[in-house]
Amino acid sequence: MLTAFGPPIDLSDLSNYIQVDTRPRRSAFVGRVSTKDHQNPSSSIPRQVTLAAQRLEPGEEFAQYYWDVESGMLPPEARGLGPREMYEALRVPTPRDGGLQDLLAHAELMGITHVLAERSDRVARAMLTSLTVEHELQKAGVEVVYANEPTGGTESGRLRTRRYGQVDAELYKIAMNEMSMGGQVQHAVGGWNHGIPPYPYVAVVDENAPPPTRGRFGEARPKKKLVPHPDVRRFDATRELCRLRREEYLKAADIIAILSADPERYPIEGQWTHNRVEGLIGNPKLTGYQVYNRKASRTGRPGYSRWNPISKWVWSPGPVHEAVVSLEQWKQAQEVTAMLQAGTEGGPLLRIQAAAGRRGLTVTLVDSTGSHTRYRIGAQQVVLPTPIPDAVAQQIIENLECAA
C-alpha cells in the first residue's frame, strides 16, 4: 500500500523505492464439488473457474487447475486422494493438475503467486482447514484470492468479509450435520437398517414404511428392515459363535478353528476371520434392536473409523427384527470380550473358570511365587505358570471335560 505521506523530494529513481516481486505472476485455480452424485462436477467446476477468473489480470489465464470432488469437511491431509481413473470418468472439461494436497505441496515449486477460488468454502467448509490452507500458502509467498470478496478498501475490511464468509461456511456445515444426524437417528428409531446387514440377516424393503420422496438429489432410497437370512444355518452359526465367547470364554482364533472345521454347519463366503468373528460378537443388532452411530467415520484419517462409546449409540425403542441372542446374553459376551482383552493372563484363566463352572466347580487362588500360581479346582490343586500359556489352559480344560 502506498502511503499518503511521501518524501519531500522525488526519490522514485532510487532502486529500492518500490519493492518488486521479481517472480512473474502465475495464478492457479482451486475448486471443489461435494460429491459426484449430489452435484454435477462437469458443470459446477467450469462455473467456478469462470467466476474465479474474474480476478485474473487482463490477458492472464490460469497456469494450473487444482480441484477435488469430495466433502469440504475433510482436513487437508485427507483431500485429493481419489484415484485418477475416477476423475477421468467424470469427463469434466476443466483440466486437473491435482487436488488440494498437490497444490499445497507444489505451489512454491511451480512458482505460483496467486491462488483464486470462487469463495472460501470451495477450499473447505471448516474454518480451521481454510485458515490452515491460507497459512501454508502464505508461507510459500502465495496470495489467496476469493472472487466473492470486494476489491479496494482497507485490509481489515477485506479480512472481515473473508472471516465472516468462513464462519458462515462452518455454521452451514454444522447445521447440515445436525439435520443429517437427526434424520439418521429417526431412521434407526423407526427400526430401519443402516449399512451392510450382519451375517445372519438380509435387508428387505419395508412395505409399511412411508414412501420415498424425491428431493434435491433425486429419489430417496427405500427404507429397509432386517429379516433372517434365507440360509437358516447362519442364525445357528451366529448363536454358537456368541455362545463360545459368552460361555466358553474362547478367543477369536479358537472360535475360528471350531467354525472352520465344520463348513457345512457354519457356512461363510470366503473364510472366517478375526474381524468377522469379533464384529459379530460385538454387533448389538443381533439382539433384535436397531442400533446406529456405533462408529465415527469422519476422523480425518482416510479409511479409518473410530468406535464411539456405547453411551452415544442410538437404539430403537424396542426390538424390530428377530433376535439371535438376548440383550443380557449380548452384554455378557461384551464383558467376556473385555476381560479377554484385559491381559494375557486373564484370558486363559477365565476359560479354565468357565470349564470348571460347567462341572459345578470353582477355581480359587491358593498362593503365588510370581512365576507360578497355585489354584484349587474343586478338591484338586494345580500349579500353573504366570502368565498361563494357552496350551496349558487348553490341557486343563480337556482334563476337566474328560473327568466329567
- One DSSP character per residue, 51-104 reads HHGGGSPTT---SEEEEEES-TTS-GGGSS-S-HHHHHHHT-SS-----HHHHH
Instruction: Please tell me the least confidently modeled range out of 71-75, 223-227, 374-378, 380-384.
Output: 71-75
| Closest of 240, 260, 244, 239 to residue 337, by C-alpha | 244
* Grid coordinates of 388: 498361563
Taking residue 325's Cβ as centre, other Cβ atoms within 10 Å add up to 21
When pLDDT is averaged across residues 47-60 and rounded to a whole number, the result is 93
Residue 143 vs residue 211, higher pLDDT: 143
Give yes or no for residue 256 having a pLDDT over 60. yes
pTM greater than 0.85 = no
The whole-number pLDDT of residue 335 equals 86
When pLDDT is averaged across residues 98-109 and rounded to a whole number, the result is 90
Taking residue 330's Cβ as centre, other Cβ atoms within 10 Å add up to 23
Give yes or no for residue 172 having a pLDDT over 90. no
Give yes or no for residue 66 having a pLDDT over 90. yes
The whole-number pLDDT of residue 300 equals 46
**Owner of C-alpha cell 468357565:** 354
The whole-number pLDDT of residue 237 equals 95
Q: Provide DSSP, 24-60.
A: PP-EEEEEEES-TTTS-HHHHHHHHHHHHGGGSPTT-
The whole-number pLDDT of residue 323 equals 95
252-260 and 233-246 helices, crossing angle to 10° = 150
Give yes or no for residue 114 having a pLDDT over 90. yes
The whole-number pLDDT of residue 217 equals 47
The whole-number pLDDT of residue 298 equals 56
Taking residue 352's Cβ as centre, other Cβ atoms within 10 Å add up to 23
Pick the CATH number of 27-174 from 3.40.50.1000, 1.10.260.40, 3.30.342.10, 3.40.50.1390: 3.40.50.1390
**What tens digit of pLDDT does each residue of 298-307 get?**
544 555 667 8
Instruction: Please tell me the least confidently modeled range out of 1-15, 85-99, 203-217.
Output: 203-217
The whole-number pLDDT of residue 344 equals 47
Q: What percent of the chain is modeled with pLDDT above 70?
A: 90
Domain extent listing, the chain: 27-174, 343-404
Average pLDDT, the chain: 84
Give yes or no for residue 396 having a pLDDT over 70. yes
* Grid coordinates of 40: 454435477
Give yes or no for residue 250 having a pLDDT over 60. yes
pLDDT bucket at 64, cuts 50 / 70 / 90: very high
The whole-number pLDDT of residue 51 equals 93
Question: How many angstroms separate the Cα of 306 from the Cα of each of 25, 76, 195, 261, 400?
Answer: 44, 19, 16, 33, 41
